Amino acid sequence: MGVKNSLQAFVVLLYMSCCSSFYLPGLAPVSFCREGNSTDNCKSRIELFVNRLDSVESVLPYEYDAFDFCKDENERRPSENLGQVLFGERIESSPYKFYFNKNQTCKMICSKVYQPKVNTQLEFIKKGIQLNYQHHWIVDNMPVTWCYDVEEGQKFCSPGFPIGCAVAPDGRVKDACVISSEFNKKDTFYLFNHVDITITYHSGNGENWDGARLVAARLVPKSYKHPSKDNLNCEAHPMEIPQELTSKLEVIYSYSVTFRENNTIKWASRWDYILESMPHTNIQWFSIMNSLVIVLFLSGMVAMIMLRTLHKDIARYNQIDSSEDAQEEFGWKLVHGDIFRPPKKGMLLSVFLGQGTQIFIMTFITLFLACLGFLSPANRGALMTCSVVLWVLLGTPAGYVSARLYKTFGGEKWKTNVLMTALLCPGIIFADFFVMNIILWEKGSSAAIPFGTLVAILAMWFGISVPLTFLGAYFGFKERSIEHPVRTNQIPRQIPVQSFFTKPLPGIIMGGILPFGCIFIQLFFILNSIWSHQMYYMFGFLFLVFIILLITCSEATILLCYFHLCAEDYHWWWRSFLTSGFTAVYLFIYAVHYFFSKLQITGTASTILYFGYTIIMFLIFFLFTGTIGFFACYWFVKKIYSVVKVD
């Protein structure tokens, strides 16, 4: 009876835990009260955290401490997930601490003194100003934004603000120096050593929770040359850093904070003012409509082939009884004895398809979870963490698909197949990633992955992914070979001379144009989020474009595959993979165009890093799109030859 009661109690507790409400990890609201009224559920102290500093002119991010800013005496780092480490985020506590609803004006944080002799720290700050490095601050898991006016009276809220600005020797004002006419001295750097912080809160009146909740955090960077530590002046002239330091320079950092009540903004929608200031929603809808038109066009073409041309051909072929008529056969029917002849380099093709299947499932699940809100920008690093964990756990389908296809191709080197599936593509990506990491280590960048994390990634790869790949391959080789609807002749049929458009290379090049046309606008925003440090949140659009990409790759590959079969060219295995996989080549070309036309990246290291990471993106996208096209074409070929009568 005791065991039975314990089991019943466990079931009840499990049921209660399943039915209770929950917040997504890292997204639970925090209530704040005035100083002296704090409780376990209501805090009075507000902490400001700082993240890495980055720039649109350099791929190298740096930690906050690298620039000799004010440090927290009791510095601590919140726990970071795998995605944050891989993205190079380095969040740490700061000396900016204040109490809820307690306004403060021109309060000093710390001071730094630089001597006229060679000072590497000051030179590093000046280099950061020259490359327009940006602060990224966080309050209550929400970015502290800098909102400023742009063209047509619109306001743009950036999740970062610059270290400072500079005026060139010729008097040309650069970057943020345009915000004030006081920044006018030639060949001079101006340091933003003061911030006016405004925190907006919802008081909680009429709500079912105690205390107030923060709904916005904005700041305005300022530059003041304070007379001394004991005599701060937040209306003084800007803090100038000359090109050549001839005397002692003292930099005093300060801040002001103001609290404002606004009960019209709900806590759940506190990110809206940041996202709404980012344009391009209309462009997104235009991209979707453009992609849908392409899909409808391809669907009409495929439907015409399937319902009219193909149906007519099958009916005519199946009505042939006399041998004289049989000699008049032409087109795709003539190659039925060679259509399922194993391809050359079948081992490599099966490995690519196994890895492509793994990437496809990983991408689908990740985007689906992102649409549900589990991978929102507020949950930092969750997107990359989810992708890496899913990839590691999906070794089984990769091994199964690779082994099953390799066995169908008549391959016998099963050990080599399994090892290549588990190690080839991940090994290329890891080698590229490791080389990039060496460059980041040498430059002292915060994006450099710690050695312990690299060991952890290798442990996940060899300890989880590789065994799961072997398990999937075991079941794949255990299954029977895939049966095909027609037999393969012993002697290969000679392929007639092909026209220009039915030759392999032109067909492959044409095959990637339409899928790329469906994604290139979305690709622009993705590249902006990666290299221009803009916030990406339109996962609904991205998932819709993902589905459109699947359909477009499938239909374009089927269409070209049918044309090639009609030209009596039965080498469709590799061609179907490369036709849709060539979309990745257009992606790489667009990334090159983006680098030279949109970015202002300078320096050899940053250029190598950009193209190194672009190659990783190219390889993943090549495997992904190639696999889609292959399986679509494989289904199409089996479908049409399964209804043809073969004597």
Chain segment 533-580, per-residue pLDDT in tens = 777 777 888 888 899 899 889 988 988 888 888 888 888 999 999 999
Mean pLDDT along residues 394-419: 93
Largest interatomic CA distance in the chain: 108
State residue 270's pLDDT score. Answer: 84
pLDDT at 323: 46
Residue 185 near residue 314, CB atoms below 8 Å: no
pLDDT at 25 over 50: no
> Could you tell me which residue, 453 or 14, shows the higher pLDDT?
453
Question: What global pTM score does this model have?
Answer: 0.85
Tell me what pLDDT residue 19 has: 35
Residue 277's pLDDT is what? 58
Q: Tell me what pLDDT residue 309 has.
A: 60
Amino acid found at 543: F
Instruction: Flag whether pLDDT at 515 surpasses 50.
Output: yes
Distance from C-alpha of 346 to C-alpha of 392, rounded to nearest angstrom:
25
What is the three-state SS of 604-623? HHHHHHHHHHHHHHHHHHHH
Burial annotation 406-416 (CB, 10 A radius, 16+ → b, else e): bbbbebeeeee
Residue 7 has pLDDT above 80, yes or no: no
pLDDT at 425: 94
User: HSE on the CB side for 300, CA within 13 Å?
Assistant: 6
Cβ proximity of 83 and 385 under 8 Å = yes
pLDDT at residue 9, rounded to an integer: 35
Q: At what angle do helices 395-408 and 466-478 cross, to 10 degrees?
A: 40
> What percent of the chain shows pLDDT beyond 70?
88
Look at 162-171, 429-438, 582-591, 620-629 and tell me which has the smallest mean pLDDT.
162-171
In this structure, of 148-162, 224-238, 432-446, the range with the lowest mean pLDDT score is 148-162
Alpha helices in 320-381 (DSSP H): 323-326, 346-371
Q: Is the pLDDT of residue 618 over 90?
A: yes
pLDDT in tens, 229-270: 888 999 888 999 888 888 888 999 999 999 999 988 888 888
DSSP string, 368-395: HHHHTTTT-TTSTTHHHHHHHHHHHHTH
Helix extents (H) in 72-152: 82-86, 120-130
Q: Band the pLDDT of 500: cuts 50, 70, 90.
A: confident
pLDDT digits (tens, 9 = 90+) for 87-136: 888 889 999 988 999 999 999 999 999 888 777 888 899 999 999 999 99
Q: What is the mean pLDDT of the chain?
A: 84
Give residue-wise pLDDT tens across range 628-640: 999 999 998 888 8
| Closest C-alpha among 408, 508, 494, 423 to residue 461 | 423
For the cut 70, the answer to whether the pLDDT of residue 431 exceeds it is yes
Q: DSSP letters along 13-36, please?
A: HHHHHHHS----TT-----B--TT
pLDDT score, position 318: 62
Provide the 10 A C-beta neighbour count for residue 436.
Answer: 23
Task: Convert the pLDDT of each residue in 313-339 to its tens digit.
Answer: 666 666 655 444 444 455 677 777 788
Between residues 275 and 41, the one the model is more confident about: 41
**Segment 44-58, tens digit of pLDDT:** 999 999 999 999 888
- Find all residues with CB under 8 Å of 502, minimum gap 6, and list them: 563, 564, 567, 569
What's the average model confidence in pLDDT over 394-416? Answer: 92
List CB contacts of 341: < 8 A, sequence separation 6 or more: 488, 492, 570
Residue-wise pLDDT for 338-354, tens only, equals 888 889 999 999 999 99
Retrieve residue 324's tokens.
């004289």
Beta bridge partners of 495: none
Where is mean pLDDT largest: 84-93, 246-255, 306-315, 356-365?
356-365
Q: pLDDT at residue 298 above 80?
A: no
pLDDT band at residue 283, thresholds of 50, 70 and 90? low
Listed ranges 144-148, 320-324, 428-432; the one with the highest mean pLDDT? 428-432
What is the rounded distance in angstroms from the CA atom of residue 158 to the CA atom of residue 16?
A: 43
Residue from 589, 550, 576, 592 nearest 634 by CA: 576
> How far is the C-alpha of 564 from the C-alpha of 285, rounded, in Å?
35
To the nearest 10°, the Cα dihedral for 424, 428, 430, 432? 180
- Residue 119 and residue 529: Cα distance in Å, rounded? 35
* Helix H or strand E segment including 418: helix 414-443
d(CA 417, CA 413): 6
Using DSSP bridges, classify how beta strands 188-191 and 240-242 pair: parallel, antiparallel or unpaired. Answer: antiparallel
Q: Which of 153-162, 461-470, 572-581 has the lowest mean pLDDT?
A: 153-162
pLDDT at residue 14, as a whole number: 33
**Cα–Cα distance, 473 to 520 (Å, whole number):** 36
